[in-house]
């Protein structure tokens, strides 16, 4: 099993894919190492948020995704 | 046509195909018979000769719950009979409706304020990502400073 990571908005283009599966467990450093370099670079920006299991993390560095969790990488929203 | 059932006090929906605005307004109005006023905002894809289509994506676990929390904030802040927030996702063409926000209240000012507030938060804080297809390809839309300034009027 694995952690499914979703690339939302423009991160989909940076990742060249809508999603990817990485081995569990997955923490912040593990995430930065796993995703494509262009995504990792944007993830370090303060305005890019991370959600795990349906909750937005107040601090991305606290990521602790377990087997079966879905992690969403959230670039700035662009308005309805 | 099946009768449209409006949830009260907040009817919040994500729609992946066109919305029937007249039907929504009629049903919302009927669901709030005690209101003295109903304020409505309909947002549309702005016609622009370079924009072929607009695509809105969302993230199901966050987008709809976030909109419901936003509706709850409006209901706590003003004495409203009810609100309706319907938002399109997917591919839209210029002139099509994107968002319908409606508020019913005893007095008009509360309804106007609630709709204005809801739109400012939807534009700047709801989980939607937007891109436009122009002759040279797809372009992601970045948030505008004005959107944040508009939202900060309510802090």
Global confidence as pTM: 0.93
Q: Give the integer Cα–Cα distance in Å for B100 and B37.
A: 16
Name which of B54, B69, B129 to mutate to probe chain A: the one with the most chain A Cβ atoms within 10 A of its Cβ: B129
Which of B62, B124, B131 has the CB atom closest to A79's CB atom?
B124
**Of B61, B128, B131, Cβ closest to residue A77:** B128
Alpha helices by DSSP H, listed for B9-106, are 21-31, 60-77
Distance of alpha carbon B5 from alpha carbon B23, whole angstroms: 11
In eight-state DSSP terms, residue B127 is S
Nearest CA in chain B to A72: B59
Burial class (CB in 10 A: 0-12, 13-18, 19+), B17: exposed
Cβ within 8 Å, pair B129-A77: yes
Structure tokens of B70? 């936003």
C-alpha radius of gyration, chain A, whole number: 11
Residue-level pLDDT, tens digit, chain B, 155 residues: 567 999 999 999 999 998 999 999 999 999 999 999 999 999 999 988 899 999 999 999 999 999 999 999 999 999 999 999 999 999 999 999 999 999 999 999 999 999 999 999 999 889 999 999 999 999 999 878 888 888 889 98
Q: Distance from B26 to chain A by nearest Cα, in Å?
A: 24
Please check whether residue B45 is in contact with residue B123, taking contact to mean a CB–CB distance below 8 angstroms.
Answer: no
CA distance B46 to B54: 10
State the Cα–Cα distance between residues A14 and A21, nearest whole angstrom: 16
Chain B within 8 Å of A79 (Cβ-Cβ)? yes
Sort out which chain A residues have CB atoms less than 8 A from B122's CB and list them: 79-80
Domains of chain B (ranges, CATH numbers): 10-152 (3.90.1170.40)
- Phi then psi for residue A68, to 5 deg, are 90, -10
Q: Which domains does chain A have, with CATH numbers?
A: 2-74 (3.10.20.30)
- The CB-side HSE value for A61 (13 A sphere, CA atoms) comes to 3
Give per-residue pLDDT as tens, A18-75: 999 999 999 999 999 999 999 999 999 999 999 999 999 999 999 999 999 999 999 9
Whole-number Å distance between alpha carbons of B115 and B83: 8
Other beta carbons within 10 angstroms of residue A45's beta carbon come to 10
Residue in B61, B123, B142 nearest the CB of A80: B123
> Per the CB < 8 Å rule, is A51 touching B59?
yes
């Amino acid at each position: 099993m694995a952690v499914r990571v979703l690339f939302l908005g423009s991160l989909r283009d940076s990742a060249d894919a809508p999603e990817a599966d990485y081995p569990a467990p997955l923490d912040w450093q593990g995430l930065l190492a796993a995703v494509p370099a262009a995504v990792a670079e944007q993830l370090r920006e303060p305005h890019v948020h991370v959600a795990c299991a349906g909750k937005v993390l107040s601090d991305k560095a606290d990521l602790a995704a377990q087997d079966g969790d879905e992690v969403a990488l959230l670039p700035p929203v662009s308005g309805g | 046509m099946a009768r449209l059932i409006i949830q009260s006090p907040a009817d919040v929906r994500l729609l992946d195909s066109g919305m029937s605005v007249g039907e929504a307004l009629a049903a919302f109005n009927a669901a709030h018979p005690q209101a003295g006023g109903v304020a409505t905002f309909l947002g549309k894809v702005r016609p622009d000769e370079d924009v072929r289509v607009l695509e809105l994506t969302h993230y199901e676990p966050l987008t709809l719950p976030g909109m419901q929390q936003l509706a709850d904030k409006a209901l706590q802040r003003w004495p409203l009979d009810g609100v309706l927030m319907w938002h399109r996702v997917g591919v839209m063409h210029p002139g099509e409706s994107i968002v319908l926000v409606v508020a019913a209240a005893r007095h008009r000012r509360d309804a106007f304020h609630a709709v204005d507030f809801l739109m400012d938060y939807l534009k700047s804080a709801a989980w939607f990502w937007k891109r436009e297809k122009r002759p040279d390809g797809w372009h992601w839309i970045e948030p505008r400073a004005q959107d944040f300034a508009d939202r900060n009027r309510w802090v």
